[in-house]
Amino acid sequence: MCGIIGYIGPKVAYPILLTGLKRMEYRGYDSAGISTISIEDNQRAVNIVKKQGKVSNLENKQTELQGNLGLAHTRWATHGQPSELNSHPHFNDDKSLMLVHNGIIENYLTIKRNLEQRGYVFHTQTDTEVLTKLIDYYHKKCKQKLSTTLQNYEQKKDPLELALRAALHDVVGAYGIVLFHKDTNKLYAAKHGSPLVIGIGKNEHFVASDPAAFLDHTRRVLYLEDEDIAIIKENSYELKSLCSHNGECIKRKEDLVDWDITAVEKNGYEHFMLKEIMEQPQTLANCLAGRLDPQLNDIKFTLKLTLNFIKNIKRISIIACGTSSYAAMAGKFLIEKYLRIPTEVEVASEWRYKNPIISKDDLVIVISQSGETADTLAALKLAKQFGAKTFGIINVVGSTMSREVDSGIYIHAGPEICVASTKAFTAQVLCLNFLLIKLGKIRGDLTETQIQRMISNLLNTPELVKQSLNNIEQIKAAANLIKDKQSIFYLGRGINFATAKEGAIKIKEISYIHAEDFASGEMKHGPIALLEKGFPVVTFVNKNDPLYEKNLSSIQEAKARGAYIIVVADHIDSTLQSYADTILQVPKVPDYLQPLINTIPLQLLAYYTAKLRGCEIDQPKNLAKSVTVE
C-alpha cells in the first residue's frame, strides 16, 4: 500500500526520492508524485510532478525537480479514483505546503465541511487534501497569533509545528504523514497507525514508510511510534509527542537495520516472486539459526509468560489476514492435535468486530508478515484491552505489531517484495512449530522423545525444501495445461486444508484464474456439480496420512467426472499413477512440516501459470503488499 519517502541534506533530493519510490513499488500503488525545494534558493519555489501509473513515469524530471529537500509518495487509491489529481503530494492554495499521507482520515467529510465554511475550496476527492488544508488553516492562524504575541518564548515557537499538532488533534483515523513548508528548511513527520521510520545519515536525514526506501544511504534508523511528531533537519532531528502540550523532546533508542540492499534486489531472477520462492532454503535456515538446541532438547526464545499461565491456557486465538491466516490454520491443526488446547483461527477483519470472547487465561497470537496490517493490528490492540496475553509471529523487525505484542518471534524471512507471500508463509509455519514445541515442553504435552524427533526434523527443513524445489519442468508442464482454464479447485483434508487455501489464493492473486479451496469431504456437498471434463483439481496425498484412503476416494470422485488431477504427493506408485494426471513429488515429512513442504510446488505452479498468462507477477492488479487501511 502507499509508500512515503522524504529527504533533507546536501545532495540533490530527486534521484534519492525516485529510487526510494522504486524500492517501495512492491507495496502496490496506482499513481506517484514528488515535490522538492532548494534550501539555498531565495525564491523558494516549490517543484511538483505527479503522474498516474508507474513510478517510471517520474523518470527524467531532474530539471523540474531541483532542490535538496523533498518528499515523494506512491498512492493506492482509497478516497477518489486513481488519477494525477488525486495523487500525492497534496498542497494548499499557494502551493507553499506539501504533504504526503498513508492511511485514512475517517472524519474528513466533517472537517471538509467546516473548512468550506471558512472559504476553502477542494479540488480532489481525497481525505489527504482535507488534512493538508486543515494544517494550512491552523498554520495561518498560528502565524497570526504568534506575530501578535509579545512574549519571546512564544515567538520562538514554530507555527507549523503548532498547526500540525492542532490539526492532528482534530482528526480521527490513521496516518503516517510527511510535510514541508517552503519557508522552513525542515521536514515534519507524524504517525498514528501507519508506519514511518527516520533514516539517520551523515549530515542528511530520510523519512520513509519502509527503510528499504533509503537503505542505499543508511542503516541507522529510528522507528516512529504512534503519536510521535518528528521535526527533521539536515543535521539533526527532534522527536516530540502529540500528547505532550509543552513540546518537550523525547529521547528514543535508534536501531540498525540488519539486512542490506541486496535483499531487496532481484539478483538475476526475472521476478521477486521466483527469487523469494527459490531462497526459501536460506530463509528457513535463517529462521532456524541458533534457535533449536538439540543438547537441551529445547527451542531458544522467550515467551514472557508465567509457568502457571502456560500450564493453564484455556484457549488460543490466532488472528491474521490473507496468507498469514492460512499459516494460522495449520497452526490450529497442530496445536489442537499435539497440545489439545482449543484453538480458534479467525481473520482479523471479522474477529475485531464480533465482540470476541477473550479471557485472561487466553493466549492471542497474531501472525503478520508486515506487522502493519490494519485489521490485525486493531485485533491485537483489542485483545490487549481485554487483558489477554499476546504473542506475535512477525517478519518486519521494528514493525508496529512487533512493538505492541507482549512477546513474540521474528520469522527472519528478510524483506518480502512480491505482493503474493511465499517465503513468509513457510517461515511462519516453521515458527508455529517452534511455539508448538515450546508450549508442549513446558506443559508436558510432548514427550522428550517426541521433541527430539521434531527438532531433528525441523533442522532438516532447508534441505527438504531444496528437494521440493526440484519439480520445475513438471510444474511448467502442469502450468501449461491449466493456464487457459476458467477455474481450479484446491482440495485438502486435515493439515492439508490450510495448504489448499494457500495454493488457491496464490493462483488467484497472481494469475487471476478463479480458484476455490474446499475441505475434500465437502466436494460432494455442492462443488462437485461444477466438475466437467478437463476441470483442474489440485490435491495432496501423503502416504502415512491416516486418511490416505479417503484422499484417494476424493480424487476418484473428481476423476470420475473428468477432472484433470494434479497431486502433490510424497511418493509415486502405481495406485497414485492410475489416479493422477500429474504428480508433483515432495519429500516425505511428518504432518507438522507438510504445510511448509507441500506448498512449495503450488507456489511454483502459480508463478509459472501467471508467467504463461503474461501477468504482472510481482505487483498484481488491485492488491497491496501491506494493507494498512481497513
Q: Catalytic residue numbers?
A: 2, 625
Distance between CA atoms of residues 435 and 290, nearest Å: 15
Residues 6 or more apart whose CB falls under 8 angstroms from that of 261 comprise 212, 215, 216
For residue 175, the cross-strand partners are: 192, 193
SS3 track for 192-251: EECCCEEEECCCCEEEECCHHHCCCCCCEEEECCCCEEEEECCCCEEEEECCCCCCCECC
User: Judged by CB under 6 A, which stretch of 195-203, 367-375, 562-570, 595-603 contacts ligand G6P?
Assistant: 367-375
- Binding flag, residue 419, ligand G6P (CB under 6 A): yes
Quick check: 508 and 515 in contact, CB under 8 A? yes
Q: Work out how close the CB of 540 gets to ligand G6P at its nearest, in angstroms, rounded to a whole number.
A: 21
399 counts as binding ligand G6P under rule CB under 6 A: no
The C-alpha cell at 373 is 496490517
Q: For residue 321, state whether it binds ligand G6P (rule: CB under 6 A).
A: yes
Residue 412 touches ligand G6P, criterion: CB under 6 A: no
Asked if 347 is part of the footprint of ligand G6P (rule: CB under 6 A), the reply reads no
Does 397 help bind ligand G6P (rule: CB under 6 A)?
no
102 sits near ligand G6P (criterion: CB under 6 A): no
* Binding flag, residue 195, ligand G6P (CB under 6 A): no
Length of the chain: 630
Q: How many CB atoms lie within 10 A of CB 298?
A: 17
- Residue 400 found at the interface with ligand G6P (CB under 6 A): no
Stretch that binds ligand G6P, among 122-130, 416-424, 484-492, 604-612 (CB under 6 A): 416-424
The number of helix segments (H) and strand segments (E) in the chain equals 20, 26
**Closer Cβ to ligand G6P, 283 or 370, answer by number:** 370
Of 322, 331, 503, 536, the residue at the interface with ligand G6P (CB under 6 A) is: 322
From its phi and psi, is residue 514 left (phi > 0), alpha (psi between -120 and 50) or beta?
beta
Neighbours of 84 (CB within 10 A): 14
Min separation Cβ 510 and ligand G6P, Å: 10
How far apart, in Å, are the Cα atoms of 381 and each of 319, 378, 626?
12, 5, 18
Q: How far is CA 77 from the centre of its chain?
A: 17
| One of 47, 554, 626, 628 touching ligand G6P (CB under 6 A) | 626
Least separation, in Å, of the C-beta of 122 and ligand G6P? 31
Q: How far is the CB of 565 from ligand G6P (least distance, A)?
A: 28
- Which cell is 148 given? 501578535
Q: How far apart are CA 577 and CA 114, in angstroms?
A: 71
Using the contact rule CB under 6 A, the part of the chain among 139-147, 328-336, 415-423, 535-543 near ligand G6P is 415-423
Using the rule CB under 6 A, give the single segment among 90-98, 364-372, 463-471, 487-495 that binds ligand G6P: 364-372
DSSP sequence for 365-412: EEEESSS--HHHHHHHHHHHHTT-EEEEEESSTT-HHHHHSSEEEE--
Cell numbers for 41: 534558493
Q: Counting contacts by CB under 6 A, is residue 554 touching ligand G6P?
A: no
Q: Does 628 bind ligand G6P (CB under 6 A)?
A: no
Question: Distance (Å, rounded) from C-alpha 26 to C-alpha 626?
Answer: 9
Q: Of 31 and 370, which CB lies nearer to ligand G6P in the complex structure?
A: 370
Q: Which CB, 582 or 626, lies closer to ligand G6P?
A: 626
- Total residues at interface with ligand G6P (CB under 6 A): 16
324 binds ligand G6P (CB under 6 A): yes
* DSSP state for residue 105 in the 8-state scheme: B
Give residue 133's Cα distance to chain centre: 30
- Which of 94-102, 193-201, 242-250, 322-330 is the region at the interface with ligand G6P (rule: CB under 6 A)? 322-330
Q: Which of 421, 499, 520, 594 binds ligand G6P (CB under 6 A)?
A: 421
In the set 92, 370, 551, 582, which binds ligand G6P (CB under 6 A)?
A: 370
Cβ of residue 157: shortest distance to ligand G6P, in angstroms?
Answer: 40
Cell of 475: 510444474
Residues 40-59 that bind ligand G6P (CB under 6 A): none
Which residue is nearest to ligand G6P, using beta carbons? Answer: 322
Q: Helices marked H in 444-483 — which ranges?
A: 448-459, 461-468, 472-482
CA distance linking residue 425 with residue 412, whole number of Å: 12
DSSP designation for 563: P
Window of 162-170, 256-264, 417-425, 538-546 that interacts with ligand G6P by CB under 6 A: 417-425
Whether 298 and 563 have beta carbons less than 8 Å apart is answered as: no
In order of 433, 441, 596, the CA distances from 458 in angstroms are 8, 16, 11
Single out the residue of 369, 422, 496, 585 in contact with ligand G6P (rule: CB under 6 A): 369
Give the one residue of 36, 373, 433, 603 binding ligand G6P; rule: CB under 6 A: 373
Q: Which helix (H) or strand (E) holds 316?
A: strand 315-320
Closer by beta carbon to ligand G6P, 69 or else 321: 321
- Residue span 596-625 as binding mask against ligand G6P, x where in contact by CB under 6 A, dash where not: ---------------------------x-x
Whether 100 and 3 have beta carbons less than 8 Å apart is answered as no
421 vs 520, beta carbon nearer ligand G6P: 421
What distances in angstroms separate CA 169 from CA 161, 164, 245, one per listed residue?
12, 9, 11
Short-list 145, 127, 9, 140, CA closest to 70: 9
Of 201 and 322, nearer to ligand G6P (C-beta) is 322
> Smallest distance, Å, CB 181 to ligand G6P?
34
- In whole angstroms, the minimum distance from the beta carbon of 612 to ligand G6P comes to 22
| Cβ at position 320, least distance to ligand G6P in Å | 6
**x/- string (CB under 6 A) for ligand G6P, residues 234-253?**
--------------------
Distance in angstroms (rounded) separating the CA atoms of residues 611 and 72: 31
Name the segment binding ligand G6P (CB under 6 A); options: 5-13, 155-163, 288-296, 366-374: 366-374
Smallest gap from Cβ 173 to ligand G6P, in A, equals 20
Smallest separation (angstroms) from ligand G6P to the CB of 431: 13
Q: Is 426 in the site for ligand G6P (CB under 6 A)?
A: no
Question: Which span (161-169, 235-243, 413-421, 572-580) binds ligand G6P, by CB under 6 A?
Answer: 413-421
Residue 496 interacting with ligand G6P (CB under 6 A): no
Strand partners, 577: none
209 lines the binding site for ligand G6P (CB under 6 A)? no
Residues that bind ligand G6P (CB under 6 A): 321-324, 368-370, 373, 376, 419-421, 623, 625-627
